[in-house]
Amino acid sequence: MATTQLLSTVEHRETLPEGYARPESDRPRLAEVATDSNIPLIDLASPDKPRVIAEIAQACRTYGFFQVTNHGIAEELLEKVMAVALEFFRLPPEEKEKLYSDEPSKKIRLSTSFNVRKETVHNWRDYLRLHCHPLEEFVPEWPSNPAQFKEIMSTYCREVRQLGLRLLGAISVSLGLEEDYVEKVLGEQEQHMAVNYYPRCPEPDLTYGLPKHTDPNALTILLPDPHVAGLQVLRDGDQWIAVNPRPNALVVNLGDQIQALSNGAYKSVWHRAVVNAVQERMSVASFMCPCNSAVISPARKLVADGDAPVYRSFTYDEYYKKFWSRNLDQEHCLELFRGQ
């Protein structure tokens, strides 16, 4: 399978190609998506630290995600990341051919949809998957075209990792735990990145960029397209809400491991990406992942005396393998790890 599979190498069509249309019962129903003016927006530079922690706790309990401003990553760097990412997807097919793979375990690969080998319906998305930690181990295999790609992306990776560790500390404190509790449990964290490209889609009502899913990792920091909305999150089990981009804000999603560590108090958010007929869209997702041998279980302090923990202990390796063995939008993978 070669780059002919990639949406970014094919001319825009008038109708969806075969294999992309969802069955009637599983379509985005874009007309029913709501907006929500209360999506948590947290100013990380606020001098009122207890208030920031309280806002994070509230967002993690109710939404499972929040947006952050004044996060310490320069606006100029965010713009460069978006620009060089788009430049990559505009490269000629023979350049992209070098990186194409549909093998999910490959640490550096350009691919399409989600898991081409396994899925029955494809998603309207191309993506470049990069492992990012330790950088010196992986950067040599990253794309060397565009010329500035390695430099810009590795600078962003370093900064987003620092932000991720800060946020994990704040999440720990918000749970009433020591600031370094979550970071210690997760071990020497891996870091991956997905550079997503969603081309203009002729029939956006029939397909997804990515269908409904939760993230299997601990924390995801998303740099959204500043001009084009596409991320949607599920509220109260049945209402999709659009997360519109805000200037220089990053989106922080809780992953399944935080839900497990918090004994179910914090929610790993169901989210999806939709596409549109007018504009292409980019996003860059950075995933903070426990090391494979990390043993994940609810913090003892969060399990009431006499109660059983909501989830049993498991290693991240065990969880990740289970997650990838299923379809993306099946029931919450954590349900398979509930305590007996």
* % of the chain exceeding 90 in pLDDT: 78
pLDDT tens for 128-137 read: 999 999 999 9
Q: Rounded CA gap, 233 and 243, in Å?
A: 7
Strand partners, 67: 41, 251
Tokens standing for 193? Answer: 């990145």
Q: What integer pLDDT is reported at residue 305 of this predicted model?
A: 81
* % of the chain exceeding 70 in pLDDT: 96
- Do 299 and 177 meet the contact criterion of CB atoms below 8 Å apart? yes
Tokens 């509930």 belong to 338
Q: What integer pLDDT is reported at residue 12 of this predicted model?
A: 67
Q: What integer pLDDT is reported at residue 2 of this predicted model?
A: 46
Q: What integer pLDDT is reported at residue 1 of this predicted model?
A: 41
Q: Rounded CA gap, 263 and 303, in Å?
A: 7
Average pLDDT, the chain: 92
Q: What integer pLDDT is reported at residue 131 of this predicted model?
A: 96
Q: What integer pLDDT is reported at residue 111 of this predicted model?
A: 80
- The CA-atom distances, in angstroms, between 71 and each of 196, 199, 307 are 22, 29, 38
Tokens standing for 44? Answer: 């990380």
How far is residue 209 CA from its own chain's centroid? 13
State the average pLDDT over residues 51-56.
98
Question: What is the three-state SS of the chain?
Answer: CCHHHCHHHCCCCCCCCCCCCCCHHHCCCHHHCECCCCCCEEECCCCCHHHHHHHHHHHHHHCCEEEEECCCCCHHHHHHHHHHHHHHHCCCHHHHHCCECCCCCCCEEEEECCCCCCCCCCCCCEEEEEECCCHHHHHHHCCCCCCCHHHHHHHHHHHHHHHHHHHHHHHHHHCCCCCCHHHHHHCCCEEEEEEEEECCCCCHHHCCCEEEECCCCCEEEEEECCCCCCEEEEECCCEEEECCCCCCCEEEEECHHHHHHCCCCCCCCCEEECCCCCCCEEEEEEEEECCCCCEECCCHHHCCCCCCCCECCEEHHHHHHHHHCCCCCCCCHHHHHECC
Pairing verdict, β 65-69 and 41-43:
parallel
pLDDT tens for 265-314 read: 999 999 999 999 999 999 999 999 999 999 999 999 999 888 889 999 99
- Do 286 and 164 meet the contact criterion of CB atoms below 8 Å apart? yes
Q: Rounded CA gap, 274 and 125, in Å?
A: 10
Within 13 Å of residue 308, how many CA atoms lie on the same side as its CB? 7
Residues whose CB is less than 8 angstroms from the CB of residue 74 and which lie 6 or more positions away in sequence, other chains included: none
Q: What integer pLDDT is reported at residue 230 of this predicted model?
A: 97
To the nearest 10°, the Cα dihedral for 54, 55, 57, 59?
Answer: 160
pLDDT tens for 89-112 read: 999 988 988 898 877 778 888 987
Q: Rounded CA gap, 64 and 311, in Å?
A: 18
pLDDT tens for 148-189 read: 999 999 999 999 999 999 999 999 999 999 999 999 999 999
Domains of the chain (ranges, CATH numbers): 22-337 (2.60.120.330)
Q: What integer pLDDT is reported at residue 128 of this predicted model?
A: 95
Pairing verdict, β 190-198 and 231-235:
unpaired
State the average pLDDT over residues 111-134.
83
